[in-house]
């Protein structure tokens, strides 16, 4: 089964890191992706630009409404994702716990919903 691991963290923690600490975090993150790949659990990962680069899109009454970010009033913001393959939720949680940012952020693990093909 597929699980999406949404990586949330306080950007101020990253900003407080030295360039060397950020490079080390990047190295460890890439190495963990490789470890997941070797284990057959890695499907895809990407980092995201900050919320100030986001656009929210809504359709209401036939109109498209788009608004610029930032739009969250929270310290932790989504900074990326890892799509994994796991036997069950317990294994997905174990794999998510190894994501280096879990040491100071939050990893939200969600099962991927497969939309059934209509008859």
Nearest partner of 80 among 17, 35, 25, 37, judged by Cα: 25
- SS3 of 31, please? helix
Share of the chain above pLDDT 70, in %: 95
- Residue 118, domain member (yes or no): no
Is the residue at 46 inside a domain?
Answer: yes
CATH code for the domain of 67? 3.30.70.1060
Q: How far apart are CA 119 and CA 13, in angstroms?
A: 50
The verdict on residue 19 lying in a domain is yes
pLDDT reported for residue 11: 87
Is residue 71 one of the residues assigned to a domain?
A: yes
In a domain, 116, yes or no: no
* Domain boundaries, position 90: 2-111
For the segment 64-92, what is each residue's pLDDT rounded down to a tens digit? 988 876 555 567 788 999 999 999 999 99
Q: What is the pTM of this model?
A: 0.86
Q: Are 11 and 46 in contact (CB under 8 A)?
A: no
Q: Is residue 91 part of a domain?
A: yes
- Find the mean pLDDT for residues 56-65: 88
The more confidently predicted of residues 55 and 8 is 8
Whether residue 18 contacts residue 38, with contact meaning beta carbons closer than 8 Å, is answered with no
Number of separate domains in the chain: 1
What is the mean predicted confidence (pLDDT) over 1-15? 93
Residue 76: the pLDDT is: 79
């Amino acid at each position: 089964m597929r699980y999406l691991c949404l990586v949330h963290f306080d950007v101020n923690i990253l900003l407080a890191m030295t360039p060397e600490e950020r490079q080390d975090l990047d190295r460890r993150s890439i190495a963990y992706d490789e470890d997941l790949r070797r284990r057959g659990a890695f499907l895809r990962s990407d980092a995201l630009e900050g919320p100030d680069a986001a656009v929210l899109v809504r359709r209401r009454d036939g109109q498209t409404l788009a608004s610029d970010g930032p739009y969250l009033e929270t310290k932790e913001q989504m900074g990326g994702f890892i799509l994994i393959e796991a036997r069950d939720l317990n294994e997905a949680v174990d794999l998510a716990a190894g994501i280096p940012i879990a040491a100071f952020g939050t990893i939200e693990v969600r099962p991927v919903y497969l939309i059934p093909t209509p008859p």
